[in-house]
Structures are given as C-alpha cells and as structure tokens.
A = this chain, B = another copy of it.
Amino acid sequence: MTRDLRPHPDTRPAASAPWRPTRQRTAVLNALHGRTGFTSAQELHEALEADGVTIGLTTVYRTLHALDRSGRVDVVRDRTGERLYRHRPTDGHRHYIVCRACGLSAAVEAEAVERWADEVAETMGFAEVEHTVELSGVCDPCRTEHRRTAAEPPPPRSGRGDRRADS
C-alpha cells in the first residue's frame, strides 16, 4: 500500500501554454469549419470517429474549451443546458436564433442589446459584465410542415443546425 512518492510531479496547469496544432486539435477545428450550425462536444466526437479520426472525448472537450476561452467559437446552451459550439465566422461575438424543431441557426443583429448591456452595467455599478442572449423559436419551414402534419412534431431535419437561413 505504499503510495507513489516519486520526486514531486508538480503538475501545474501552466497558465498559458503555447497552442500546438496537434492532429486532434486540427481535426476538431476542421470539423467545426465543416458545419454551419451548432454542435455539441459529443456530436462532434461521434462525427470525428465516424470520419475515421481517432480522438478522445476528453480531448474534444478540452479543445472546445480552449477555443471558447480564446474566443474562436460561439457557445450557446440548449434548454437542457447542454453546450453547443459553432465556429465563429467573423471577428467579434455574435448572437443567434435557433429553431427548436430543426436546429437551424442564424446570426442576428444585436447591437441594440450590446448597448443596452453596457448601459445597465454602468447604471447598476457592476464591472466585468458579461451577457448571455439566446433566441429560439420555430422557423418558417418547420411551422409550415407542422400545419400540414397535425400529428407528431417534424423530426429534426438533420443532425443539429446544419441548414442555414441566410440564403
């Protein structure tokens, strides 16, 4: 039962390690670029493995976290609280509206909210204010289909938010 008492691992996290483009990290990044909608860590992992990429779920989570911290992805939470990631197309953060039926997502203009948030922060005397703004609803196609089929709600058209509303 003698515990392992070797030297002193001293495995400190390393405040900010240099970003090494490993096979796995590259794969995650590519996978994200290949999708237009939001994807969960687990879905991403499955997709990667399905594509023949060998990678641990842990690594997917870690990578997504890092990308989030460095602001290279946008994150939202679905109603169960699960985190969904999306590669951030342009610079600066964005807000989206997501269809609860098919997952379709589209970026929305939110300058008004940004200004409102700043104003509130000042008024209330709060610092380092962060905001969470998420919109969800039922997109037009889904609504139509819903009317047609008076029965079960239309099954997710594709994985999660693969289609786009832009056009």
A126 with B137, Cβ < 8 A, contacts A77-B81, A112-B112 known: yes
Number of copies: 2
A112 with B116, Cβ < 8 A, contacts A99-B126, A126-B99 known: yes
Which of B115, B129, B138 interacts with A137 by CB under 8 Å?
B129
Contact indicator B165/A139 (Cβ below 8 Å): no
Across the interface, which residues of B come within 8 angstroms of A110, CB to CB?
Answer: 116
Contact indicator B130/A133 (Cβ below 8 Å): no
Contact indicator B143/A124 (Cβ below 8 Å): no
Across the interface, which residues of B come within 8 angstroms of A123, CB to CB?
Answer: 108
A133 with B133, Cβ < 8 A, contacts A97-B126, A116-B112, A116-B113 known: yes
A-B contact list, 12 entries, CB within 8 Å: A100-B128, A109-B120, A112-B113, A126-B135, A126-B138, A127-B137, A127-B140, A127-B143, A129-B135, A131-B133, A132-B136, A133-B133
Chain A interfacial positions (CB closer than 8 Å to B): 77, 81, 83, 97, 99-100, 106, 108-110, 112-113, 115-117, 120-121, 123-140, 143, 165
